[in-house]
Structure 1
Amino acid sequence: MSLSLLSPSSFSSLPPGQVLGGFHVGAASPPAVAWPLQHLPTPVLDGGEALRECWLLPDGAPVLTGEHEGVVWRRSGDLLFGVIDVPEAGVVPEAGRSALQQAAFDIYARIFRLLDAQGLPHLWRLWNYMADINGEADGLERYRQFNIGRGDAFEAGARSVVGRVPAACALGVASGPLTVAFLAGPTPIVPVENPRQVSAFLYPDRYGPRSPTFSRAALVHPPGQEILFVSGTASIVGHETVHRGDVRAQTAESLDNIAAVLAQASLNSRSGAFALGDLGYRAYVRHPADLATVREVVAQRLGDAPVTYVLADVCRSDLLVEIEGQCVR
């Protein structure tokens, strides 16, 4: 069951049965579709009103679509893509939890229950977006609240919070629900870490009561394929932000980190080494005025590799840019 990633000009041009799931990035609401679609309500910075991405299945692949506790999902063979949105305003937190912490816990608990019911226990990649990620409420930064809820759900679902954890990103937008999209399969990932960085799940407690739960990258192997997912990557060396206030240097450092991740991934690849130009990328830029600088640095390093630039806040307030990518072989 092979997958491919496509950026169509419109969703209406796609055969509905051939789409496993996808993404719509843009301020305007997306059209109704018959498959799981994550909407990220934030501007695309490099032209065009929206970014559309779809995971496509081969012609004639069987699909099963459903809804489970608010998770809209579609399965084909042993691959499952799902999306869940939870507005915080409707969340009633348990004692000692904020609304965002409770929402994160509930979302991940529902995802794990779905995957267990489907017999596909392994998360491969997650896309997390929330409003006001760097804001403080209930005495704690909202991203740190999210990490507590996510980590608690991993443990409650009998999942490890260190080592073999999925690739992921977590970004902030101006408004909207906590939205999580995910891709899961029957086999565990091959985790990839970065020798230039402390693993995120081992961060010291200065970054919050619970460390983030993700690998720097993940290799996964649908039948006959290899896919590399590079998590959101920023200007962090060791566990500390570097080049504060310098978006040019932060962009270069982010790409240095991705290059280091690719070198490690290449050691475990079944399909050959990975180079920077082999991936497709999404770059999250905090300030629109920085776009030209970020694009210049990216073009110098990535050449003709496809990159989409999106307005978003990075998980640390001193980080100005974050870059993620994937390679499908």
Structure 2
Amino acid sequence: MSSTIHSVSASPVISSSPGPALFRACYAPAAARDAALADPRTLAVFGFSHGQPPCADPRWLQVPLAEHGPAQIEIWQGAGKVEHGVRDGVRWSATDAVLFGAIEMDEIDGDIESAAADSYALMSGFLTHCGFPHLLRTWNYLDAVTEGEGDQERYRRFCVGRVRGLRELDEAALPAATCIGRFDGVRRLQVYWLAAREPGLPLENPRQVSAFRYPRQYGPQSPSFSRALLPPPATGLPLLQSGTAAIVGHVSQHTGSLTEQLDETLTNLQSLVDAARLQRPALPATLGAESVLKVYVRRADDLAAIAARMAELPGAPPFIVLHAEVCRAELLVEIEGLHG
């Protein structure tokens, strides 16, 4: 049954009979954008490097991070026709089982905490009324994420604002998440997400302290996300792996060593796959062709080396390498994944 939109209290309600929905994520040349958006099954398309012409389609989002190699886009597709629109500052699209939403909010006088609080309050209100109340995965992009000293660091203020906007914090239902810094100097917070009709299963990495249990030294509000999340089977979504770096316990590892940090990060991603397979044994056992990886690299001079190492991985997982700022100054690389 195709989705329909009704207006209730000025918020969208997307109503349809829930049912199985397949999901596909892939990378493609940037020139494929318009063709992807013309496909009625397309849930979202993301661009990275500058150069794409403007596009009003709510399923298109430009995340300005310079990439290594030819310009690519990321495409998400469902199995059937996708409904989409804009309501109350939220760009959205939906299959019968999965909702994509996106918010872009300018900071006022560089106040990232308020921008985060307002964005997550808007998201929370939208989810309450849209028929997809369960948040599965979020992505957050902001300029200069590690700027500022101590508790005034922009990432720490973002974490405070995020919880203010969520209003309620259920540690048993936290979504997987990414928070990454841009280098573009534009004080605009970009937030997008996936949500479903039913809750997913948050997962933690046995090699790491849960982010929401970090000690006070990392800020007044611990980061509020799970290390990964297994979506409800009806969504057809893969394992959703959070942005993952070279952290063991809660401590950053291998300061100054790009190669060792990359290896530790990949070990952590594999640990999440192992944890997920305890709950869903049918998942592929290792990262490979059924994974889609996004690699964030702090130093521009390291992009080529990281891309070369990623290309050598067993199983040849599809990947893209982006110049971006990881949320701890000593961390040089971070990877997120869709697996399965």
1:104 aligned residue: 116
2:248 aligned residue: 237
Opposite residue 54 of structure 1, the aligned amino acid is I
Q: 1:116 to 1:224 in 2, by over 3 A?
A: closer
Opposite residue 88 of structure 2, the aligned amino acid is E
Report the Cα offset of residue 230 of structure 1: 0.8
Matched, 1:3 2:23: yes
Matched, 1:209 2:230: no
Give the total of aligned pairs.
Answer: 314
2:40 aligned residue: 17
Report the Cα offset of residue 146 of structure 1: 0.3
Check whether the contact 1:21–1:36 (CA below 8 A) recurs between aligned residues.
yes
Equivalent-residue separation in structure 2 for 1:78 and 1:5 (angstroms): 16
Gapped regions of structure 1 (runs ≥ 5)? 92-97
Matched, 1:79 2:98: yes
1:189 aligned residue: 200
1:169 aligned residue: 178
- Deviation track 1:121-169 (CA, whole Å, cap 9, x = no partner) reads 1111111100000101796100000000112222x1x341x23211110
Equivalent-residue separation in structure 1 for 2:254 and 2:272 (angstroms): 20
Gapped regions of structure 2 (runs ≥ 5)? 1-20
Tell me the TM-score normalised to structure 1 length: 0.89
SS in 2 for 1:188: coil
Root mean square deviation of aligned Cα? 2.0
Q: Which range is displaced more, 285-294 or 258-267?
A: 285-294
Check whether the contact 1:247–1:293 (CA below 8 A) recurs between aligned residues.
no
Question: Of residues 202, 210, 234 in structure 2, which corresponds to 1:199?
Answer: 210
Report the Cα offset of residue 317 of structure 1: 0.4
2:51 aligned residue: 28
1:88 aligned residue: 107
Q: Which range is displaced more, 311-320 or 15-24?
A: 15-24
Equivalent-residue separation in structure 1 for 2:120 and 2:105 (angstroms): 11
Equivalent-residue separation in structure 1 for 2:308 and 2:191 (angstroms): 31
- Deviation track 1:217-261 (CA, whole Å, cap 9, x = no partner) reads 111135273510111110101001111111111111101111111
Tell me the TM-score normalised to structure 2 length: 0.87
Q: Percent identity?
A: 35
Equivalent-residue separation in structure 1 for 2:333 and 2:106 (angstroms): 26
Equivalent-residue separation in structure 1 for 2:97 and 2:88 (angstroms): 21
Opposite residue 212 of structure 1, the aligned amino acid is P
Report the Cα offset of residue 38 of structure 1: 2.2
Report the Cα offset of residue 5 of structure 1: 1.3
Check whether the contact 1:120–1:185 (CA below 8 A) recurs between aligned residues.
yes
Map of 1:180-329 to 2, 5 A cutoff? Answer: 180-223=191-234, 225-269=236-280, 271-277=282-288, 278-328=290-340
Equivalent-residue separation in structure 2 for 1:163 and 1:143 (angstroms): 23
1:94 aligned residue: none
Check whether the contact 1:21–1:82 (CA below 8 A) recurs between aligned residues.
no
